[in-house]
Amino acid sequence: MATSPSSSTSTIPASPTSSATAPATTTGVSSALPPQPIANTADTQVRWKGFAAGVASGATKLLVGHPFDTIKTRMQCSPPGTFTGPLDCLKRTIKLEGPRALYKGASPPAVGWAMSDAVLLGSLHNYRLMFARLEARQRGEDVGDEAAARLSLKGHTASGILAGMSASCVICPVEHIKAKLQMQMTGPKLYKNPIDCVAQVYRANGPTGLYRGFFATLLFRSWFGAYFCSYEIMMRRFRAVPEESKWKVSSGTATFLSGGMASNAFWIGSFPFDTIKNRMMTDSPTNPKYKGIKDVALKVWAEGGPKAFYRGFVPCLLRAFPTNASALLVWETTMQFLGAEQLKT
């Protein structure tokens, strides 16, 4: 995992197959490794720390990013020509519905994003540790050695893909309800609140109705592989800057900038899949316009070719940098505060 230089000496605890006398190093203190059952307890502690830090990250995303997300979703899913641009969408939303409209649909993410980031970042942490140990075995190293904590860029990419897919199972219903509520503009409201929205979707399509757009969500969130790989590449570049250089920045600044820039790389590739996902989620539960992913893609293309898939991209980029930079900084800081296991840098 990409982490600050100050935490780069933390190591992965010995696995059940490693020697009971192998040294364990945590925050600079060396001692004999406890008997095997204790090592298993340490592995369990690692898991919950990653998930707990993810909750803090999700709350940060909601606070910073939801107004931008509302504008993005409305531009993606409104008929062509409804808004002349992001600023027009923002002005009309505030003028006709008031500033609170920017937080429409925020109730589901208030819980859902915390859960989603707990799964995303908690599973990411564990996938990274798993791949680090697998790579160590391939190099012929003892998984209890410090060298086992190294992870290749391929490992970071695979961890991000799997973490994104894992989070899809939790976030898909949340994003479904959020998107439907965000698209309620002026005029009569189809849904009174999130609970009423869930009830109507359930009555129309059963329990699977909330998972409409799930495969599009999987495609969209698999781009977290590119996100976390880009993040790691930039963190390595920041760590490689000599201490005496005027360009050397603190670990917190490096985390913030890397997280923000990686989010831009993520959205450039994933945005078309986000458009498809949101079109499917905001579709009518009783009289759907779209038959599936392919049908959505063809109809969006007919609206204006490739550009149609990127409608709402500007507010997305404006949201992406501060939101993801802040969220990753909070996650990394919380992980260090909890003393979670770190990958060797």
Tokens found for residue 109? 């993410």
Determine the pLDDT at residue 324. 82
pLDDT attached to residue 107: 67
- The pLDDT, as a whole number, for residue 186 is 66
| pLDDT of res. 149 | 62
Residue pair 60/326 in contact (Cβ under 8 Å)? The answer is yes
User: Residue 304: phi, psi to the nearest 5?
Assistant: 165, 20
Which stretches of the chain drop beneath a pLDDT of 70? 1-51, 54, 56, 58-59, 61-62, 64, 105-113, 143-149, 186, 340-345
Half-sphere exposure of 160 (CA within 13 A, CB side): 26
pLDDT at 338: 74
Quote helix, strand, coil % in the chain, to nearest 5.
70, 0, 30
Work out whether the CA dihedral 290, 293, 295, 300 comes out positive or negative: positive
Retrieve residue 187's tokens: 């005029």
Do 109 and 194 touch, CB atoms closer than 8 A? no
d(CA 252, CA 257): 9
What per-residue confidence (pLDDT) applies to 152? 93
Give the per-residue pLDDT at 49. Answer: 67
In the chain the domains, ranked by start, together with CATH numbers, are 40-338 (1.50.40.10)
Q: Tell me how far apart the alpha carbons of residues 114 and 126 are, in angstroms, rounded to a whole number.
A: 18
Q: What is the DSSP string of 157-190?
A: HHHHHHHHHHHHHHHHHHHHHHHHHHT--SSS-S
